[in-house]
Chains A and B, each alone.
Chain A
Amino acid sequence: MEEKIKSAQEQALSEISQAKTSDDIELLRVKYLGRKGLVNALFGELSSVPAQDKPKVGNLLNRLKIAVSSALDSAKGKTIDAGPAAAADSIDVTMPGRKRSLGRLHPLTQTLDNINEIFLNLGFKIAEGPEIETIYYNFEALNIPLDHPSRDAFDTFYIDDNSLLRSQTSTVQIRVMEKVKPPLAIISPGRVFRPDATDASHSFMFHQVEGLMVDKDIKFSDLKGILEIFVKRMFGEDTRMRFRPHFFPFTEPSAEVDISCIICKGKGETASAGGGKRCSVCGGKGWLEILGAGMVHPNVFSAVGYDPKKWRGFAFGMGVERIAMLKYGIDDIRLFFENDLRFLRQF
């Protein structure tokens, strides 16, 4: 009897292993486990086994049943087709999914949102102001005197003798300080205009974000700290930053801020076959200029009625297009305003 069980198991497992379709498996299931199948027939023979052997043989039979059953189950998972019913309903899963269309925000909006988010989390409020400004807010209050060469950097579109399109969003800082008492921390995002001939890196309209923090004990090192957080959040934790002295009429001391090139990681060259190639993004310098910053000039505080002996602050400004171009690897500023959907849909 034990021999019989053993050979039945070998035969069953061998046949199951050769089964190719789910039909084959169903036939084998009937052959072995069906009501009139081999396993049931062997159970029927159990009555003729001597009483003392019955538990042992019964046990073997149970194990046979389990072995065949599980072999059938696992074989079923491996069969090629899914049975006649399933075959008729089957679908081509390689066909494209049906997409609900979802529009995209303009890459400048996305970049601006990123920048705003970082500063909001640092406790800055967003302040906005008019694009059509007066000479006072655009120049005088910012310590940019009339007939000074420093105005050359701020060529301007005029509307009438006193009104112009703002050439920087620092105008908003003045408007806020006129109304709000310190301490304060604001950023002012917005559109600015400069009559530059349009080319791949110049546009007569672009966007800026300016920041301002005023309190009694604000330090230059705080400015470095805040901007370091910004730079790392915006461009990645491994981004390095450097401050270079510079001149802006509205800050003293002033700085330009560079970040390590996001393409060559500050090395100045990119790996290529046969040695390094000069990095085209930073021009081999390893650094990219992205910000202007400094400690608010006392004349600016005086213009808004803050006592420069009592209050100190820092200010910074950046071009949103420049940051978006670096972040996304865009090489022509005009793309932002052409609104080519093949461009817009990449972000």
Chain B
Amino acid sequence: MKISYSWLLEYVDVKNSARQIAQWLTMTGLEVTSLRESEKDAILEIEVTTNRPDWLSVLGIAREVSAITGKRLKVPVVGNLTQTVRDKQIKVEINDKLLCPRYTARIIDSVHVEPSPPWLSQRLQDIGVRPVNNIVDITNFCLFELGQPLHAFDYDKLAGQKIIVRRAKKGETIMTIDGVKRELDSDMLVIADEKKPVAVAGVMGSLDTEVSLSTKTILLESAYFDPISVRRTQRKIALSSDSSYRFERGVDLEGVLFASNRAAKLAMDFAKGKIGLLKDVGTKVAKPNTIKLSIRKTNEILGTGLSPVAAKKILTGLGLKVGAAQEELFVSPPSFRRDLKREEDLIEEVARIYGYDKIPTTIPKTIGHLGLKEPKRRVQEYAREILTGQGLDEVITYSLVDKKDLENAGLLKNDTVFIKNPLSSQQEAMRTSLIPGLLNAARFNINRKIEDFGIFELSSVYSKAGENEYREETNLCVLRHGPTANFFEIKGIVEVLFERLGISGFDFVNTPENIFYNGRSAKVMAGALEAGVIGEVKKQALEKFDIKKEIFLCEIKFERIFSAINTDRRFSGLPKFIPAKRDISLVVEKQVSVRELETAMKEAAGEILKNAVLADEYYGQQIPKGKRGLTFSLEYCLSDKQLTDEEIEQAHSRAKKALVEKFGAIIR
């Protein structure tokens, strides 16, 4: 909300600079977000929190300045309002007392509708409100001065000299002052004359009962409307106004008549109006509320040493009624402070004005807990370390994705979760996989000529788990692009990760997967568990993501391998004997897998063959078509005995023989 410095000074006896006042307000909870100083005046832009409708007025802010400085608050004085017009009648009927506990209507006759006097126009212009005519300007002036919204109808346009506060009927419509026809329904409160709605209660009046230059008599409305009702209506018809903004936060029930009087007096003085009949219907006094405030508790909660006298002084300064200054204060907030409901609310008031900055800083006595991370979080942090250690950069992509991206990655499933109110179609679905996000990140970087990179994300994916039930699981996705990238490189990254995480018995099983090339992809198995997929992404799939280069990726259901992770380590002793190393080079049919050859050698050589590791794969002129050349490095060793040359040679021959006999291999 904007207020001008000069306007503020009319209600409180201070001489401090606008800058000083802005500083005070900020430090008591009325954050001044901008201060524009000119030679004559200053404009303060203030952020008013939703709990303080009383601050949505110049008088309310002046009250705060008065509480801070101890200087006198000067509430405007209305003066004499004698009724001089008696021939015009109005009836007021409230049909829904819950939604409208109080309604006042006053006739002001013989008005001269014309431009406002300069002082009035200036007040409004200063705070960014466009002057219209003296009557409308007076209602706006009172709204900003007192925080009570007012509305002026053209009395002669109201049918039947009657105001009925009721819920709208189904199918009723109203053309509001902004020229828009609006559909109403029975949840909305309206102000109606005998025939039709003439205002959406608390939001906006109708165009045809609006005050115009030809208006002679006005009916001035000042009322209290239920905050929730105004808020719902305002949202439903998508029309927010300075009035609805205040009603939905709650105006002062007891201030309704004062605002009407104030406006009537101004209409007398500046629109030549004559005072007519006043109707004030409904509850006039707010339910009193007395709160007990313990000074001991106040000091315990704040960590301060305030006296009852000091606390009382603060509360009194804010316009609260306070009983005798003793350990327990009995405090009655005025009707404009409905936000004060309980002791804690009063403690905040005391703390605010006392000054948060004066509250000491202490360390909680009971810090004795031990900081702790859940094992799951620790493992994730460790996984991130292992992956960055292998040269991969971490990315973070959005949880909300385009449905099309899921479709393009073949991941749109029945259990995909959708947002009911998305901002755009690009964020309408919750990701079921990290793959689309990483492919998009890859494209972004490839387009920027980054030609060699590896990225990963370890984050949540989402799916439906039943009717209105949802599942969130952590996935890991690794993506690699670049001159040396290939299936085995990304496989190696995953193998290192699994080894370090202590996942034993993982395996890669050749199975075609939807976005991967058949025969260049695999399922990642952790024991019997399907933990993920790995492979080279098909060109057709990449085209849908606008990627023209090769991409290798792997997605692991991290959540599912969690139970297989074991980062405990036991020392197993050092080998007592140095292993003997032998190589075998062979040529074999291409479809024979390395796994089969390894197994055959181990079976044939027996337990003394500790390791048989592929060292090289080669094709070339010496290798016939349809075959491949392989070299294995073998290590022979026993933990409790030094092997003799003879034992090693015998085992080695058995291994070779098995390769020849089982697979027709030619040993080179």
Which A residues contact B (CB, under 8 angstroms)? 100-106, 108-109, 113, 116, 119-128, 130-132, 147-150, 152-153, 157-160, 162-163, 165, 183-185, 191, 193, 195, 197, 204-205, 213, 215-222, 224-226, 228-229, 242-247, 252-256, 295, 297-298, 312, 336-342, 344-345
- In the complex, the answer to whether A149 meets B396 with C-beta atoms within 8 Å is no
- Among residues of A, the one whose C-beta sits closest to the C-beta of B51 is A247
Q: Is B258 an interface residue (CB 8 A)?
A: no
Instruction: A336 to B394: give the CA distance in the assembly, Å.
Output: 11
A157: chain B residues within 8 A (beta carbon): 400, 419-422
A108: chain B residues within 8 A (beta carbon): 396
- In the complex, the answer to whether A123 meets B396 with C-beta atoms within 8 Å is no
Given known A-B contacts A106-B396, A220-B301, A253 and B357 have beta carbons under 8 A apart: no
- In the complex, the answer to whether A122 meets B367 with C-beta atoms within 8 Å is yes
The residue that A253 contacts in the complex, of B342, B348, B366, B453, with Cβ under 8 A, is: B348
- In the complex, the answer to whether B249 meets A149 with C-beta atoms within 8 Å is yes
Q: Say what secondary structure dominates the interface of chain A.
A: mixed
- In the complex, the answer to whether A225 meets B364 with C-beta atoms within 8 Å is yes
Instruction: A205 to B437: give the CA distance in the assembly, Å.
Output: 14
A125: chain B residues within 8 A (beta carbon): 369, 371-373
18 contacts between A and B (CB under 8 A): A101-B391, A103-B389, A103-B394, A122-B367, A124-B369, A147-B231, A193-B400, A217-B365, A224-B303, A224-B361, A242-B27, A245-B356, A247-B49, A252-B345, A337-B396, A339-B395, A339-B445, A340-B444
- In the complex, the answer to whether A132 meets B302 with C-beta atoms within 8 Å is no
- In the complex, the answer to whether A132 meets B444 with C-beta atoms within 8 Å is no
- In the complex, the answer to whether B417 meets A244 with C-beta atoms within 8 Å is no
> Which B residues from 443 to 469 make CB contacts under 8 A with A?
444-445, 448, 450, 453-456, 460, 462, 468
- In the complex, the answer to whether A126 meets B372 with C-beta atoms within 8 Å is yes
Give the shortest distance, in Å, between B427 (CB) and chain A (any CB).
Answer: 6
B460: chain A residues within 8 A (beta carbon): 131, 191
B417: chain A residues within 8 A (beta carbon): 132, 159
The residue that B396 contacts in the complex, of A122, A163, A246, A336, with Cβ under 8 A, is: A336
Instruction: A127 to B373: give the CA distance in the assembly, Å.
Output: 8
- In the complex, the answer to whether B31 meets A102 with C-beta atoms within 8 Å is no
- In the complex, the answer to whether A195 meets B423 with C-beta atoms within 8 Å is yes
- In the complex, the answer to whether B231 meets A128 with C-beta atoms within 8 Å is no
Q: Is B352 an interface residue (CB 8 A)?
A: yes
- Among residues of B, the one whose C-beta sits closest to the C-beta of A220 is B302
> Which B residues from 51 to 95 make CB contacts under 8 A with A?
51-52
- Among residues of B, the one whose C-beta sits closest to the C-beta of A116 is B373
- In the complex, the answer to whether B419 meets A128 with C-beta atoms within 8 Å is no
- Among residues of A, the one whose C-beta sits closest to the C-beta of B27 is A244
- In the complex, the answer to whether B453 meets A341 with C-beta atoms within 8 Å is yes
Instruction: A165 to B27: give the CA distance in the assembly, Å.
Output: 34
Give the shortest distance, in Å, between A310 (CB) and chain B (any CB).
Answer: 13
Q: Is B615 an interface residue (CB 8 A)?
A: no
Instruction: A218 to B381: give the CA distance in the assembly, Å.
Output: 32
- Chain B 30-61 near chain A by CB (<8 Å), digits 1 or 0: 01000000000000000001111000000000
- In the complex, the answer to whether B399 meets A123 with C-beta atoms within 8 Å is no
Q: Is B300 an interface residue (CB 8 A)?
A: yes
- Chain B 337-371 near chain A by CB (<8 Å), digits 1 or 0: 00000101101100110001101111111111111
Q: Is B242 an interface residue (CB 8 A)?
A: no
- In the complex, the answer to whether B394 meets A163 with C-beta atoms within 8 Å is no
A337: chain B residues within 8 A (beta carbon): 396-398
Instruction: A339 to B444: give the CA distance in the assembly, Å.
Output: 8
Q: Is B390 an interface residue (CB 8 A)?
A: yes
The residue that A130 contacts in the complex, of B360, B399, B472, with Cβ under 8 A, is: B472
- Among residues of A, the one whose C-beta sits closest to the C-beta of B389 is A102
- In the complex, the answer to whether B445 meets A340 with C-beta atoms within 8 Å is yes
B269: chain A residues within 8 A (beta carbon): none
Instruction: A303 to B661: give the CA distance in the assembly, Å.
Output: 75
- In the complex, the answer to whether B363 meets A132 with C-beta atoms within 8 Å is no
B372: chain A residues within 8 A (beta carbon): 120, 125-126
Q: Is B441 an interface residue (CB 8 A)?
A: yes
- Chain B 225-258 near chain A by CB (<8 Å), digits 1 or 0: 0011001100000000000000011000000000
- Chain B 1-26 near chain A by CB (<8 Å), digits 1 or 0: 00000000000000000000000001
- In the complex, the answer to whether B248 meets A109 with C-beta atoms within 8 Å is no
- In the complex, the answer to whether B399 meets A191 with C-beta atoms within 8 Å is yes
Instruction: A126 to B351: give the CA distance in the assembly, Å.
Output: 31
Instruction: A253 to B340: give the CA distance in the assembly, Å.
Output: 12
The residue that A242 contacts in the complex, of B357, B366, B418, with Cβ under 8 A, is: B357
Given known A-B contacts A103-B393, A193-B400, A295 and B366 have beta carbons under 8 A apart: no
- In the complex, the answer to whether B300 meets A123 with C-beta atoms within 8 Å is no
A217: chain B residues within 8 A (beta carbon): 300, 365-366
Give the shortest distance, in Å, between A134 (CB) and chain B (any CB).
Answer: 9
Interface contacts beyond A130-B470, A159-B420, A246-B31: sample of 20 additional A-B pairs, CB < 8 Å, sorted by A: A102-B388, A103-B392, A106-B394, A109-B384, A127-B374, A131-B472, A132-B470, A149-B231, A159-B417, A159-B419, A159-B470, A165-B419, A185-B367, A215-B364, A219-B303, A219-B362, A222-B303, A252-B344, A253-B352, A337-B397
B445: chain A residues within 8 A (beta carbon): 339-341
Instruction: A160 to B30: give the CA distance in the assembly, Å.
Output: 37
- Among residues of A, the one whose C-beta sits closest to the C-beta of B347 is A253
Instruction: A59 to B394: give the CA distance in the assembly, Å.
Output: 73
- Among residues of B, the one whose C-beta sits closest to the C-beta of A243 is B356
B289: chain A residues within 8 A (beta carbon): none
- In the complex, the answer to whether B398 meets A213 with C-beta atoms within 8 Å is no
Q: Is B28 an interface residue (CB 8 A)?
A: yes
- In the complex, the answer to whether A147 meets B228 with C-beta atoms within 8 Å is yes
A340: chain B residues within 8 A (beta carbon): 444-445, 448
The residue that A219 contacts in the complex, of B27, B249, B302, B348, with Cβ under 8 A, is: B302
The residue that B371 contacts in the complex, of A101, A120, A213, A345, with Cβ under 8 A, is: A120
Instruction: A229 to B31: give the CA distance in the assembly, Å.
Output: 25
- In the complex, the answer to whether A205 meets B398 with C-beta atoms within 8 Å is yes
B472: chain A residues within 8 A (beta carbon): 130-132
B195: chain A residues within 8 A (beta carbon): none
A120: chain B residues within 8 A (beta carbon): 371-373
